[in-house]
A and B are shown apart, each in its own frame.
Chain A
Amino acid sequence: MEDKEIKCGGCPEPCTNQCGDCTKFFCACPPTSRVVYSIWANQQAYWSGWIILGGSLIAASLNLRAIPPTAYGLYTRYLLIPFSLLVILIEYPRGKKRTGNIETRLFQEYIAPIPYFFRFLTRNLFLRSMFYMIFSIPCFFILSTNIGGMTLLISAMFYFIGGIYSENWVPPMLAYGPGSKKQKREIVIVNDPLLMAPPQEELPTLPVINSEELIETKS
């Protein structure tokens, strides 16, 4: 409790925020937002992966050999295919939300162990954002992957914003691998007479309100 009232170094106000961390050298009350930007960024990056894959397949089908300035494109177009597949693979499993449920993609629990395996490399959104920023550079060498590069930059931007709001990729349910928990429900047979006694706490009953007027119209 005392920690909360201590002013952090250089901080104008005491950290009242729950996640206020005074141990760091600067006042770290991270900004909070109700919007989870990483969910949007995930959707964007996932689709960007497909757009880049399509673009690089178009580029790979072309005969670019004749033109000298596209020499960069000459080799990167083949490299972009596995890179875009990597983006799709990493982005396919949706992370858990802090509160509430999130819709999972079909069979994502079978792919989720792969990003889980890379630990902080995939969980830190700043790292992800940096990776996409670097990865989007070769996309601008070829015309057909330009749009994919732009959309990937947008998603990198939203991942960065998500990182500022201290979001990270929380591993969802895994089908196999080290992170998967196989929960076994224990069946407890209760035959203790003490346990069978009526419980002390009240049930969360609905409050009774006098609301006759709810139904009667006012004349």
Chain B
Amino acid sequence: MWLFDRFVLFRAFSLRGFLNDLPRYIFVTLWMLTNIGLFIGFFVQFETFPRYFYFRMISRQGLSFARAPAAVINFNSMLILLPVCRNLISIIRGTCFRCSRSLRKALDKNISYHKLFAWTIIFCSVIHTAAHYYNYEFIITDAASPQRFEQVPSNPLRNNPLIYLRLLENRSLVLPLDAVLLNYMTYAGITGHIMWLILFLMATSSVEVIRKSFFEIFWYTHHLFIFYFIALGIHQFQMILPFQSNVDVSDPFNCSRLPVDTTGEGCEILPTFTAARPSSYKWFVIPLAIYLVERLIRFIKSLIPVQIVHVEEHPSRTLEIRMKRRFFRQDVGQYVFVNIPSISFLEWHPFTLTSCPEDNPEFSVHIRIVGDWTEALLKKVRQKGSNVRSTIITIDGPFGTASEDVFDYEIAMLVGAGIGVTPFASILKSIYHKRKNMNLKKLSQIYFFWVCPQPQSFEWFATLLKTIEKSLQDEGCPDLIKYEIYLTRGWTAAEARNIYLHEDDIEDPITRLGAKTNYGRPKWDEIFATIAENHSKKKVGVFFCGPPILSKELHFQANKHSTNNCSFSYNKENF
């Protein structure tokens, strides 16, 4: 199956799509090259530099294999906080309004970058830890068998290789004879294990199964990141990794081969050692400061009062909240983060705006009651009754690139699947208002496809569609928005029979809309062919929001049906 998917991806390649994503590809390539460069640079440095000569004798390749991924971890720890600074990204997007849309769209992929950095950190941690396990074991093994160093006459490790570890230098510590004990004597060992546990908890709670079903576990576990940075900061502070400080007077490559008392070869002076200074904190201190400023901005923003205008409970367990706030400018297809301190002080939940720019300064969100937080919200709304407007609610946002591309095409084909219909509420409303104000640019025809398992859960959306349908009919242009609804599952045998019997009714038996509901999945091949036939010499913009499998299919079909006669260009909206 995945082979087939790869095939579709390969077939779906188009120059336009490639150019659309070009800034993203450039960024990822640059990042990858930096990683590889850091890894190779540090590896070669620790493999060849004379000052690490004596340490290499103990740890073999262990030193290079530990330090090279450490550099990559530092680099990615520096980057990992930046993509989650959403206010910072908003500022960059705002100042770079003139730059190309594809660059701004690259900024919307922030969470994928965050994941990429995180997986790199985990991957390099595995190499780093494995190499250090070897290092600890080598040190213990060498301490137990010093005869290995007797062939190296002037070696400072000759008597006891453990003296080489600065940890034990000038200190009356008992030499441990076990790697486990030695590990827990070092700061690096303790903090390394702490960091591993934190990464483990964070990574296991961010897999899709848990993130989607139990968001709060993911959310709270991710705040362990602060302990990760503290541990990373003190990881090196014991300064036990030494390098030779006098390589210019005592060349280790020569001197290690000569007997101790040799004179005249420039090896009279014994090697001296200093510790490598801690450097990790230099990498992440600035991004951490930026992140803390970001949290401060969020806190200050949360102090701007939000006025609740109207709360309505829809029958399909959906709450509609309309609000007002100063300094709030929305565009189509954006989202906000909502926090209600009386329910949970720390949790911020993202919701797509269902209002359009013409609604300014009011804005609205539709919240489906599915989890703990939303359940608590519903309870609160029911308890307070008409008093609900006094609830303190805080908003962060709006975020996301506006999807105003819809108005740049003559024909727009909008596809919303499942929960992916919510942004189209905003877009369809905006289209309606723009038509009323004769501001529709060149957009002349909209096809809207709604693919869903159960329309019952989006009854408010059907109502909106009905309202738009009715008002367009009243104004004499019922054909501006053509829509089709596809019900993919969720009907019983009895219902199927009922639907069959209602076939000749004017209204659809389920949605009560003028357009008949289709049962089953849409046949995209035929749909695209029909649209291409009806609109020759025109450009069609395909806009999609929903699950990735359907996205691939649509992308493939859009490229397949693009001819000189009628061209489809595919846009996946990032909501």
Contacts and interface: CB of A to CB of B under 8 A. Distances in A.
Contacts of B140: 67
B419 interface: no
Interface in A1-52: 34-36, 39-40, 43-44, 47
B201 interface: yes
Contacts of A43: 204, 207, 209-210
B130 A58 contact: yes
B360 to A, nearest CB: 9
Interface stretch (A80-88, A112-120, A172-180, A199-207): A199-207
Contacts of A67: 140-141, 144, 177-178
Chain A contact surface mostly? loop
A40 B130 contact: no
A91 B203 CA distance: 17
A47 B204 contact: yes
A215 B468 contact: yes
Contacts, number: 140
Interface stretch (A126-134, A141-149, A162-170): A141-149
Contact of A203 (B196, B460, B467, B495): B495
B463 A214 contact: yes
A54 B209 contact: no
Given A58-B133, A154-B200, A209 B314 contact: yes
A199 B497 contact: yes
B134 interface: yes
A143 B464 contact: no
Interface string A176-219: 00000000000000000000001101011111110110110110
B563 interface: no
B352 to A, nearest CB: 16
Interface in B496-512: 497-499, 501-502, 509-512
B210 A39 contact: yes
Contact of B197 (A102, A150, A204, A218): A150
Contacts of B136: 143
A122 interface: no
A40 B204 contact: yes
B119 to A, nearest CB: 13
Contacts of B410: none
B213 interface: yes
B408 interface: no
Given A40-B204, A150-B197, A143 B137 contact: yes
A140 B180 contact: yes
Contacts of B177: 67-69
B358 to A, nearest CB: 6
A55 interface: yes
B130 A66 contact: no
A70 B178 contact: yes
Contacts of B126: 54
B232 to A, nearest CB: 16
A211 B467 CA distance: 8
A121 interface: no
Contacts of B359: 217
A137 interface: no
A90 B200 CA distance: 20
Contacts of B562: none
A140 to B, nearest CB: 7
Contacts of A66: 141, 144-145
A209 B463 contact: yes
B209 A39 contact: yes
A206 B459 contact: yes
B315 interface: yes
B236 interface: no
Residue of B200, B204, B362, B462 most packed against chain A (CB within 10 A)? B204
B179 interface: yes
B372 interface: yes
Given A40-B205, A40-B210, A143 B144 contact: no
Contacts of B183: 143, 146
Interface string B475-500: 00000000000000000001101110
B305 interface: no
B510 A203 contact: yes
B323 to A, nearest CB: 13
B456 interface: yes
Interface string A69-85: 11000000000000000
A64 B371 contact: no
A66 B134 CA distance: 15
Contacts of B471: 215
B228 to A, nearest CB: 15
Contact of B208 (A68, A97, A103, A147): A103
A20 to B, nearest CB: 22
Given A199-B494, A212-B467, A54 B137 contact: no
Contacts of A103: 208-209
Contacts of B86: none
A64 to B, nearest CB: 7
A16 to B, nearest CB: 18
Given A58-B130, A199-B497, A211-B463, A44 B141 contact: no
B141 A63 contact: yes
B513 to A, nearest CB: 9
Contacts of A34: 214, 371-372
A36 B455 contact: no
Given A43-B207, A143-B179, A35 B129 contact: no
Nearest to B425: A214
A70 B183 CA distance: 14
A47 to B, nearest CB: 6
B193 interface: yes
Contacts of B209: 39, 43, 94, 102-103
A203 B498 CA distance: 7
A92 to B, nearest CB: 14
Contact of A36 (B137, B201, B213, B510): B213
Contacts of A198: 498, 501
Contacts of A215: 429, 432, 464, 467-468, 471
Contacts of A36: 213-214
Contacts of B216: 35
A76 B217 CA distance: 35
A151 interface: yes
10 contacts: A34-B372, A62-B134, A62-B141, A66-B144, A70-B178, A143-B180, A146-B193, A203-B495, A205-B512, A215-B432
* 5 nearest CB pairs, A to B: A143-B179, A144-B133, A66-B144, A206-B459, A43-B204
Given A206-B456, A214-B467, 17 more contacts: A34-B371, A35-B217, A36-B213, A39-B213, A44-B200, A63-B141, A66-B144, A67-B144, A67-B177, A102-B209, A143-B183, A151-B200, A154-B201, A204-B456, A206-B463, A209-B315, A211-B467
